[in-house]
Structure 1
């Protein structure tokens, strides 16, 4: 994530053109697990790189986690939420300070292990990350563009990035059929940071996004009836930009200059009306298009992405 720009409230729908890759996929969408009557668990990671981390500081990452914590707890009924941030308020006003866990590589992996442990059909899991993202050479030869995408833990200069192979192995591969995992990544180079098999992209002049393969199959993916490889669980990832783009850490004019990741702000704005009420029946299509509109209105080049583990009907209402 990079620090620049201001973001305004989303404008009318706008679809930016993607630089698509991979093979176009034409198939009927599978049904998502419709009865999310199981456990609700979330891991929220926000890294400002304070306290000695040798990376440019990000002012909005901690705010992003606090906003997502409120969203999940107050509007979606999540009670089991693990928080990893490095900018806790110390005056007693921030409830999150009661469970501080530093966002190191080891701690992030431990939180992911807690998230997926014992997952079963009907469970709803959320993984949220706001921080720096990066790209490194792909040595496993599963990337179409030759690069692995990564998130940057607070101690990455000592213990390394968490690349897409790591995240897929820890977060995606263990999940059984019937689990829904929603991943929200506000970071640079994040489009395929989970190595999910499919990504929705816009081509010039297209009224609807088209589906493309995004990586070579991973070992936990299996072929469906059409021969396309997919994950067992329902995995849906909204990310802040394409793999070749950077993502903005910004200040929101309409909120008095509050620091925020541009993608996180756009996501939240897309889910609520002007009176602060949650919109009913917002679909994945609505979120993707309105988030892209917010970036364009804010003068940002980044293009939010939607990747999935199994083919998704974009008219499905967003649910956690």
Structure 2
């Protein structure tokens, strides 16, 4: 295990485009990911342009405003080798967790492919994009929005030049067939990120293979060597630089993103990022961990799962986080909104 500091890194460093994808148990991705997929919804792409510096206007959301959440879990029941087992349960677990964080059931949408689910609640491409639109419409400063996805992840060749590593990441709706019907990071960025106002928080968690940059955020943080057991006194180094070849939004939204693994890695279907995230948040409900502590704790929990493939959860943002930012407490609801613990 390695022990060096946390820092931001370019998308190309995150990806492993030359990696082979050998089957390692059951995971939330596809073997030979890039040959499965060659098409995408070109109507949702945005022009690729060079980012011009860091956004001049940025405000942290106080998370005191309106709360809305979209949770998606897809097991691909009946798909044979591509079927997963834990995604629906993880999505339901996330919904339960959010209700304890001040999110009302009337403002949480759950899309799953359970047999009993009505067509309007199935995670088809049309329904996912429609509910992404619902999530962000009317968003205002100090709102707290939450996007969650558990299912398969894929990569396809970048078509518009906005990826430093030349690969787009994507999520896979239940009705995706062959190489069609996926939702690329370009579409997710256009539907979710690009429409958020300044001071609005979007917390996203994607528990899928090759999901490190699936929101197309310009900044990702990693430990060149792990955060775990870093020697005392070791200086932490943060290197903010723009990674996304897009026009910067003048009013940068407060977007934070937890993903199961790097681009090019597989994510397991048991002992998942979701389970680690919920366990840590519940344990520290009234004593918020900061972002660095959250990332370290999540990686420690997943690292302890013996006998399974290695994956390194990632943390990304729209606005560059320096050392001080990484020590800010992570929360999705204002602390005063949560009931005090009972003895």
TM-score normalised by structure 1 residue count = 0.77
1:149 partner SS: strand
1:247 to 267, 281, 293: 267
Q: What is the correspondence of 1:74-113 to structure 2 with a 5 Å cutoff?
A: 74-79=100-105, 80-87=107-114, 101-113=121-133
- Secondary structure of the residue aligned to 2:96 is helix
Q: Is the 8 A contact 2:10 2:243 kept in 1?
A: no
Q: RMSD of the TM alignment (CA)?
A: 3.2
CA distance 1:291–1:214, change in 2 (3 Å): farther
Deviation at 1:211, TM superposition (A): 3.9
> Aligned to 2:62, which of 35, 43, 46?
35
Match of 1:66 among 92, 96, 115: 92
The answer on 1:162 being equivalent to 2:169 is no
Q: Which residue in the other structure is 1:136 paired with? A: 156
- The correspondence of residues 172-251 of structure 1 with structure 2, limited to 5 A, is 172-204=193-225, 208=236, 210-213=238-241, 215-219=243-247, 221-222=248-249, 232-250=252-270
Give deviations 1:250-293, integer Å, cap 9, x for gaps.
Answer: 1x5xxxxxxxxx111111122233xxx73511221121001111
Structure with more strand by fraction: 1
Q: Secondary structure of the equivalent of 2:76? A: coil
CA gap of 1:174–1:30, structure 2 versus 1, over 3 A, is closer
* Residue 318, structure 1, aligned to residue 338, structure 2: no
Distance in 2 (alpha carbons) for counterparts of 1:177 and 1:31: 6
> How far has the Cα of 1:106 moved from its partner?
0.6
Count of residues paired in the alignment: 278
Q: Cα distance, 1:125 vs. partner?
A: 0.4
| Cross-structure match for 2:49 | none
Give the 3 Å change call, closer, same or farther, for CA 154–209 of structure 1 in structure 2: farther
Q: 1:102 to 1:178 in 2, by over 3 A?
A: same
SS in 1 for 2:100: helix
Contact kept, 8 Å, 1:203 with 1:209, in 2: the verdict is: no
Q: Give the direction of change, closer, same or farther, for the CA distance of 1:160–1:38 in structure 2 (3 Å limit).
A: same
Q: Which runs of 5+ in 1 are unaligned?
A: 1-12, 91-96, 224-230, 253-261
The answer to whether the 8 Å contact 2:120/2:127 transfers is no
